[in-house]
Amino acid sequence: MQTMREPTYFTLAALLDGPLHGYAITKRAETVSDGRVRLTAGTLYSALDRLLGQGLVEVDGEEVVDGRARRYYRLTSSGRRALEAEAARLADAAAVVVSRMSAAPEPAA
């Protein structure tokens, strides 16, 4: 499986705790990334379209709030697996460096 893009990764990560609608996904993604990832609506819906197409996310339901339709999205089981695989890959990539940092000599200034 190819590397997951950052907006995709954090969109999935935002849905780990349960179904959310578009705006809530952007807020959650911002929170879980310590404010680093700010999804624009364009990026968010491109990512959601792709994820819906791949079956990693599905529509959970709709409700109307203040006259506007909200659509909720939830992680599918294959979406959860893909997210876990990507997290493991990132952890492995980090471990390559972290485990050797203490042993490696400090570069001369």
Write out the residues near another protein by the rule CB under 8 A.
3-9, 21-23, 26, 36, 40-46, 49, 68-71, 86, 90, 93
Q: Which is nearer to another protein, 3 or 31 (CB)?
A: 3
Work out how close the CB of 27 gets to another protein at its nearest, in angstroms, rounded to a whole number: 9
**Which residues, 6 or more positions from 40, have their beta carbon under 8 angstroms from its beta carbon?**
none
Ramachandran bin of 76, using left for φ above 0, alpha for ψ from -120 to 50, beta for the remaining angles: beta
Q: How far is CA 45 from the centre of its chain?
A: 13
Work out how close the CB of 76 gets to another protein at its nearest, in angstroms, rounded to a whole number: 20
Work out how close the CB of 77 gets to another protein at its nearest, in angstroms, rounded to a whole number: 23
Q: Which two tokens stand for residue 8?
A: 């995709």
Work out how close the CB of 101 gets to another protein at its nearest, in angstroms, rounded to a whole number: 16
Q: Which is nearer to another protein, 52 or 80 (CB)?
A: 52
**Rounded Cα distance, 76 and 68, in Å:** 26
Q: Give which of 67, 83, 100 is closest to 14, Cα–Cα.
A: 83
Q: Which is nearer to another protein, 42 or 107 (CB)?
A: 42
